[in-house]
Chains A and B, each alone.
Chain A
């Protein structure tokens, strides 16, 4: 395989990376762009995390200590926005950039210049978003769901920049997704059929489709806000014949698929890692593909489960409840398949596997609470309490974030050519695992006991659990400094990685040297037996 990569020497393809900063500014190389995305996302994870620590510090005890309510709302909002749009989504795009071409045997992404454009829009967008903290009236303070009219008539002036930041993110995501789809559909190595693609590629194909379908809807809804704010339109004002609830419908038509956008690639990552360390083929490949597609389809028709309390007629409530519950079935299929893959395997527990297993367990717990939320009468009690916060952090933090961490550990040797420090990696895992549970498990309790979300201060009966939760948050947060250290250490050196890195690993990316050469598969690989595990 090595030979395949090197045999072809062509004017356009034997360039190594350029030197200095321009390498990153001008690059069209999918690996460089992947790296840019991943570092950007990591930085945003820290910024969003610092907001979260601000929140948790304030909630450590009842009473207002550290931040006043206005700032608290800004922190909550920016935390949600930055984590969702700045940390998780770019991280997955980064992984897609690094991995999709290598997994399907393509020389690069289909539209390399546009690929760079998609990335470089993001620092501008988030620069503008974060700068709102310093504007008159402060940063967005209406929650990451920015319900009108709090986000229109009653918003600080920075809302205009927030809207344009969202537009930029949308443009970036749409172009990024077009690139992914086109790469997958058009650039697979000869002989690789769709049903031979690694699951990570499948999940990204479907995710990209979701993104192209819903990001424009988000752009639409923020545009409506813009018009209501500056041009006197009445989309979200009953006085003019509009309806604030219209905002929520349009937002959640985007918002619900959005949460699956943040989990489907994670499913792909886990479906790559578990078979490797169980040394056993993934159980039920076909049903995994169909389950992913069903989840994506269902995600378009369940949006109003976020709005059970807004006064939807009975028939609507019932429909959205049933449709939402159905999602448990394909998701269950995935969980069972992973368990069946582990069953009677020959498992070892390196750091990526630890994160992957924790993903399966903790994501499932988050799924269970999601299912509880979908039961309308019960949701009346859960809605807008910390029970919801617990639910979505279980699916997002030990879900999406853990899967990203698992992916980083898994492919880091391929990226850098060096093995990471396994002892430190395991330490990082255990600290994170404990931290996450200590942070978010008690939030189920405070939620059920009646603590609303998005409040800077609370009644005394919620005090214990909040204190525990805050301790966990700091433990989890600071453990991530260790993660940063491990990555830097691995980049700088360490035991040299072999081509295959993990003895059970399957897939084209393991047939090329570590670190992966700057250009791979300039001519396509021939041996498709390697293609999927």
Chain B
């Protein structure tokens, strides 16, 4: 709440072409994606979906670029009051909260399956004698052999948490520190420190992604652990995959911040863009810790 003394002029842009283009962009993106998926599942070789998707991505990406440029321009022409910046801070926090809830849905699915469904299918617990239907099934986690092993062939082996996943954990945890050092760089007015630590953070992020990509490759090719290898593969890839998507997004944000830092943006009192990216990065990091514990360590 603003008190009488802190009240400042609140900047309201009087109209903008950006939102309608962003709407069109996001629509084309999902419409294209929808067509792509349907074509894929129907075995059609039409490329209508791809084209629309690509077009949508272009419109969306372009719009976002102009959108952020405009915001930065407005900021630099001192149109933004502290109150308005507080709106951004609140906005970003609630956005991150919504992301937390998105992950909560997938973690919830994992917990529910592990705690209940594995047993219930085997007729253990209060749900009923479902083992009537699945005679060869053994209720254990990790589920190496799903109830219908023909339709969902289980993995032959799992990924040990103490190899690459541990490396990835260290990478991400370190990157949370490096991004904080970069922040110190802003506070101290030390641009070189800012830029260097940002580069370090981004590199860690990219290495993380490469390691994960390699791990997926290994899982698919050597271990038979795939999206379609039953509920273990399902939860494993969905949780780590969405996390990976968020790391990718976070890395993009940081790259943008790197460019901005180089252009001389950000000061101790005016670095919301950077802070938003950093919070996002920390959030992604925390999610990974959850994944490491629940998917990797307790999962195998």
**Contact between chains at B98 and A215 (CB < 8 Å):** yes
Q: Is the interface of B mostly helix, strand, loop or mixed?
A: helix
If A128-B30, A178-B94 are given as contacts, then 10 extra A-B residue pairs at C-beta distance below 8 Å, sorted by A number, are: A26-B15, A29-B14, A107-B12, A124-B24, A187-B10, A216-B99, A224-B105, A224-B109, A230-B41, A239-B146
User: Is B121 touching A186 in the complex (CB atoms < 8 A)?
Assistant: no
Closest to B85 in A: A186
B37 sits at the interface (CB 8 A): yes
SS of A interface (majority): helix
Cα distance A471–B30 when bound, in Å? Answer: 41
Complex CA distance for A13 and B227, rounded to whole angstroms: 54
19 contacts between A and B (CB under 8 A): A25-B17, A107-B12, A110-B87, A111-B87, A113-B67, A116-B16, A128-B31, A168-B26, A174-B95, A181-B90, A187-B10, A190-B3, A191-B4, A192-B1, A232-B227, A239-B151, A240-B148, A242-B117, A249-B108
A224 to B239, CA, bound (A): 11
Query: Is there an interface contact between B41 and A229, defined as CB atoms closer than 8 Å?
Result: yes
Residue A460 lies at the interface, judged by CB distance under 8 Å to chain B? no
Whether B1 and A185, one on each chain, are in contact in the complex, defined by CB atoms closer than 8 angstroms, is yes
Q: How far is the CA of A6 from the CA of B164 in the complex (A)?
A: 65
Q: Tell which of A128, A186, A240 touches B146, judged by Cβ atoms closer than 8 Å.
A: A240
A178 neighbours in B (Cβ, 8 Å): 90-91, 94-95, 98
Residues of A within 8 A of B237 (CB): 233
Beta-carbon contact of B112 and A186 below 8 Å: no
Near B by CB (< 8 A), chain A positions 142-189 give 157, 160-161, 163-164, 167-168, 171, 174, 177-179, 181-183, 185-188
Contact B30 A168 (CB under 8 A): yes
The interface bits of chain B over 152-174 (1 if a CB of A lies within 8 angstroms of the residue's CB, else 0) are 10000000000000000000000
How far in angstroms is the closest Cβ of chain B from A380?
Answer: 16
Q: Is the CB of B15 within 8 A of A212?
A: no
**CB distance A164 to B30 under 8 Å?**
yes
Task: Verify B232–A241 contact, CB threshold 8 A.
Answer: yes
Contact B37 A230 (CB under 8 A): yes
| CB interface residues, B 90-123, toward A, < 8 Å | 90-91, 94-95, 97-99, 101-102, 104-106, 108-109, 112-113, 116-118, 120-121
Q: Which residues of B contact A229 (CB under 8 A)?
A: 37, 41
Residues of B within 8 A of A (CB): 1-4, 6-7, 9-20, 22-24, 26-27, 30-31, 33-34, 37-38, 40-42, 67, 83-84, 86-88, 90-91, 94-95, 97-99, 101-102, 104-106, 108-109, 112-113, 116-118, 120-121, 125-128, 130, 133-134, 143, 146-148, 151-152, 226-228, 230-234, 237-238
A249 to B146, Cβ gap below 8 A?
Answer: no
A243 lies within 8 A of chain B by Cβ: yes
Cα distance, A138 to B258, chains bound together (Å): 49
Shortest beta-carbon distance from A490 to chain B in Å: 27
Whether A242 lies near B234 (C-beta < 8 A) is: yes
Query: Does A467 have its Cβ within 8 Å of any Cβ on chain B?
Result: no
Most chain-B Cβ atoms within 10 A of its Cβ — which of A10, A23, A108, A120?
A120
Q: Which residues of B contact A231 (CB under 8 A)?
A: 227-228
CA separation between A116 and B108, bound complex, in Å? 33
B117 and A227 form a contact (CB under 8 A): no
Compute how far the CA of A224 lies from the CA of B121 in the bound complex, rounded to whole angstroms.
Answer: 20
Q: How far is the CA of A12 from the CA of B80 in the complex (A)?
A: 13
Rounded to whole angstroms, the CA-CA distance of A147 and B109 in the bound complex is 16
A334 CB to nearest chain B CB (Å): 26
Nearest Cβ on chain B to A436's Cβ, whole angstroms = 35
Measured CA separation A219–B105 after assembly (Å): 9
Interface hits, A353-402 → B, CB 8 Å? none
CB within 8 A of A240: which of B7, B94, B112, B234?
A: B234
B252 to chain A, nearest CB (A): 18
Pairwise interchain contact A186-B94, C-beta atoms closer than 8 A? no
Expressed in whole angstroms, the minimum distance between the Cβ of B39 and any Cβ of chain A is: 10
A110 smallest CB distance to B (angstroms): 4
Q: Which residue of B lies closest to A14 (CB)?
A: B14
Report chain A residues within 8 Å CB of B2.
186-188, 190, 524
Chain B residue at minimal CB-CB distance from A157: B38
Contact present for A220 and B106 (CB under 8 Å):
yes
Q: Which residues of B contact A227 (CB under 8 A)?
A: 227, 234, 238
